[in-house]
Amino acid sequence: MTYIKIGKPVFIGIDRLKNEQLGDEIMKVAVGSKNKAKLGAVEAIVKQYFPEASIENMDVPSDVSIQPFSNEETRQGAINRARHTMMLTNADITFGLEGGVDEIEGTMYCCNWGAAVLKDGTVIASSGAQFALPEEIAQELRMGKELGPVMDVYTNSENIRHHQGAVGIFSNNLIDRKEMFEHIVKLLVGQILYKMNKDQKDQI
């Protein structure tokens, strides 16, 4: 797991993260994307663990290539989205999710990363599923094209990235993009809870 301290620490108590109200305040969560699969993933996991949390979303820049071309660049895009969202919303937790590709020994893999930023400046990043793309898709990406539009042409569909995504097509719909991102968000939420429990114990 990756913890990076940025900015001035402002401690968020574990009770807040367990979704206990502080006066009239309810935990505020924000997502740095308008993509339906990404937003749906955050909503599904956050509502499971923090059912009273409010969730908003917005378009923010990733500050990386439109088509990230390595695990490192994809990870950075997720972190940048989460950071930008925190600066704009001052939420208790912000999430950034990013899809990219990474080539290993001539095979192009789709890779996925997520990041969460807490109000105290902590950044947590986790990766998710990686799967091989057909060579005909990889060739299009090497020419500078973006996976989403390439998949739209390949499937003769529109906005596939908002729905099953490439993972749905190439897993024969055994898993879709929202479900894939849910696993990443669950990893992030679990690490947040672990960190806050540890911080609380350390203060006793």
CATH code of 32's domain:
3.90.950.10
pLDDT band, very low/low/confident/very high, at 204 (cuts 50, 70, 90): low
What pLDDT score does 164 carry?
87
What pLDDT score does 10 carry?
34
pLDDT (average), residues 110-130: 95
What pLDDT score does 1 carry?
41
Separation of alpha carbons 166 and 171, rounded Å: 8
Looking at the chain, the whole-number percentage of residues with pLDDT higher than 70 is 88
- Which residue range forms the structural domain that includes residue 103? 28-202
Residue-averaged pLDDT of the chain? 87
CA angle (100 as vertex; 35, 147 as ends), nearest 5: 70
- For the cut 70, the answer to whether the pLDDT of residue 14 exceeds it is no
Q: Does residue 177 lie in a domain region?
A: yes
Domain count, the chain: 1
